[in-house]
Amino acid sequence: MSSTTTLRKLEVVSPVPADIDIANSVEPVHISQIAKDLNLTPNHYDLYGKYKAKVLLSVLDELEGSQDGYYVVVGGITPTPLGEGKSTTTVGLCQALGAFLDKKVVTCVRQPSQGPTFGIKGGAAGGGYSQVIPMDEFNLHLTGDIHAITAANNLLAAAIDTRIFHESTQSDKALFNRLCPPNKEGKRSFSDVMFRRLKKLGISKTNPDDLTPEEVNKFARLDIDPDSITWRRVMDINDRFLRKISIGQGPDEKGMVRETAFDISVASEIMAVLALTTSLADMRERLGKMVVGNSKSGDPVTADDLGVGGALTVLMKDAIHPTLMQTLEGTPVLVHAGPFANIAHGNSSIVADKIALKLVGPGGFVVTEAGFGADIGAEKFMNIKCRYSGLTPQCAIIVATIRALKMHGGGPAVVAGKPLDHAYLTENVGLVEAGCVNMARHISNTKSYGVNVVVAINMFSTDTEAELNAVRSAALAAGAYDAVICTHHAHGGKGAVDLGIAVQKACENVTQPLKFLYPLDLSIKEKIEAIAKSYGASGVEYSEQAEKKIEMYSKQGFSGLPICMAKTQYSFSDNAAAKGAPSGFVLPIRDVRASIGAGFIYPLVGTMSTMPGLPTRPCFYDIDIDTTTGKVTGLS
């Protein structure tokens, strides 16, 4: 990429300024130039302003016969609440590969939710001199994908309650007459989506007038059991007061009150569908197959049963295309999908990775990030994302910090918004070495998939040489291919050149095929137990509710799906306070849910919430706009 015109030399200063100040100090190039460097023509993308473009899926069809580049996933050790710099490392590595090592490279990352942006953690554009820009556009509305998901999700929620309402007040005949009304000539017809329900019911007739009264009943009456509904409304803001609500309080709803809840938008199954889909046709099928609850006789009810699968796809038709952006040093970025890793599968989209791998070609690099620690994001990357994509990574990076390792070694609690304890700011090699058990388990778990593991030690100014050397030694002893000290936060791509070289060697020297943690033909419980074992658990305990759900999903034919654990990101166990590498604990499964359209079963471990709350002092206190320049201030 050295011949391109988009690469920029960063003027770094010390101490490192605020992220938003660095982002605002660099003028991005027009996104058409970034596209040109990837050999994309204006026919391959739709512009969204000067600095964003949607890359069309037709690019994949055009490049179908070409070879892929190297595929790298970035995970981490079990983090502190402050995060350990996975996004920053992902971006810094790509800046190193593209701007310093002359490699074709594309960064593939998730779109951030506005929940953390205005809540505790802040944005997810990277940090320091390793960022995606413009960072305000990246962290806020981007190209509207999450808003499209919110709209589609809530249309389906409205369809569910409305259908129950209308079925409760109408006879079979009246329902059928309204679902299939006669046209001006008095002829009835089924809409296209209705044929999906007819096929599911084993009815092959194409003329509504030919249905028997029994077939009319089966077709028109979904008979949804309100207590079985799993579909919730969503919004992309942290709001703890929506965790439990009642709906149907209006006088016109005739006493149809039902308890439900809101989830955050990125926890919607539609987000997971977007991330795991492989084409527009595949997305249409997945959206239609989403199960929202059961009929009173125990049959699953889908979005297509409600007649809304096609409409959902229309709302998502632009969201399926990844968004092209750039890093501070002018290397290309594809931003697409944003499922959380603790309550969903935590990876950006398959289609973005596939497009990127074709665009960089042989010898090029696609670097993608898997959320939170490798026990969550990287495990789901391997066992869910790679299973559906058919792609094989050559290298996995595990990001580690001295700060987090000290915490795992027995250091004081790290609390967001509070100053770090003295123990984290002064040398303590013993504390670091004690905490390396956490990193070692992540390394051995990740190596078991057949990839080479490189540890990226994300260096902070308070880290000492003795502490850094202790981590490097422990990483190599645990089986890492290499362990590299990185300063990309302070120096941009230049600070990750050694990491880039190590990653290239790791990719070139893979000797094993990709191995999954479990085969799909195991029972739901056996798959859950395989994952629990990788956490260090000695066994699994199922609540009565979880037992019933496992039995129901197995009976409905869904036991062949992969497992997506909803678990705290702050420990291998269900107890966020259990640091290091706990073992011998029993993992409690409180409930089990299913995302049939997305294609996984997700057990809820302990007390995971799918709607975060705001702290006493949310990030929004610092966010404002300069009314003279129109530039956003205070985003982190």
Residue 557 has pLDDT above 50, yes or no: yes
* 291 close to 230: Cβ distance less than 8 angstroms: yes
Check residue 334 and give left, alpha or beta (phi > 0: left; psi -120 to 50: alpha). Answer: beta
Interval 342-384: pLDDT, tens: 778 999 999 999 999 999 999 999 999 998 999 999 999 999 9
* 265 close to 234: Cβ distance less than 8 angstroms: yes
Q: Helix (H, G, I), strand (E, B), or coil: what is residue 258?
A: strand
Closest listed residue to residue 107, CA positions, set 338, 272, 348, 318: 348
Interval 458-482: pLDDT, tens: 999 999 999 999 999 999 999 999 9
Residue by residue, DSSP assigns 33-72 as HHHHHTT--GGGEEE-SSS-EEEPTHHHHHTTTSPP-EEE
**Taking the mean position of all CA atoms in its chain, how far away is CA 8?**
30
**What mean pLDDT do residues 420-432 have?**
96
Q: pLDDT-based confidence at 8, cuts 50/70/90? A: confident
Backbone angles phi, psi at 561, to 5 degrees: -90, 155
Whole-number Å distance between alpha carbons of 201 and 99 = 58
Whole-number Å distance between alpha carbons of 610 and 340 = 10
Whole-number Å distance between alpha carbons of 254 and 455 = 60
Residue 4 has pLDDT above 70, yes or no: no
Pairing of strands 365-369, 70-76: parallel
Whole-number Å distance between alpha carbons of 260 and 296 = 18
pLDDT for position 2: 40
Tokens of 307: 């007649």
What end-to-end distance do the CA atoms of the chain give, in Å? Answer: 30
Q: What is the mean pLDDT of the chain?
A: 95
Q: How many helices (H) and strands (E) does the chain have?
A: 23, 23
Interval 597-621: pLDDT, tens: 999 999 999 877 889 999 898 989 9
Q: What percentage of the chain has pLDDT greater than the value 70?
A: 99
**Structural domains of the chain, ranges and CATH numbers in brackets:** 19-143+318-509 (3.40.50.300), 146-307 (3.30.1510.10), 524-604 (3.10.410.10)
Tokens of 276: 């795991």
Q: What angle do CA 428, 431, 432 make, to 5 degrees?
A: 85
Residue 161 has pLDDT above 50, yes or no: yes
Q: pLDDT-based confidence at 117, cuts 50/70/90? A: confident
**What mean pLDDT do residues 505-529 have?**
97
Whole-number Å distance between alpha carbons of 5 and 11 = 17
3-state secondary structure 451-511: CEEEEEEECCCCCCHHHHHHHHHHHHHCCCCEEEEECHHHHHHHHHHHHHHHHHHHHHCCC
Interval 261-304: pLDDT, tens: 999 999 999 999 999 999 999 999 999 999 999 999 999 999 99
pLDDT for position 3: 45
**What mean pLDDT do residues 145-168 have?**
97
Whole-number Å distance between alpha carbons of 280 and 57 = 8
pLDDT for position 1: 39
CA distance readout (Å), 516 to 437, 503, 519, 631: 23, 22, 7, 46
Interval 168-218: pLDDT, tens: 999 999 999 999 999 989 899 999 999 999 999 999 999 999 999 999 999
Q: Helix (H, G, I), strand (E, B), or coil: what is residue 74?
A: strand
Tokens of 268: 């919607």
3-state secondary structure 314-349: HHCCCCCCCEEEEECCCCEEEECCCCCCCCCCCECC
Dihedral angle, C-alpha 305, 310, 312, 314, nearest 10 °: -170
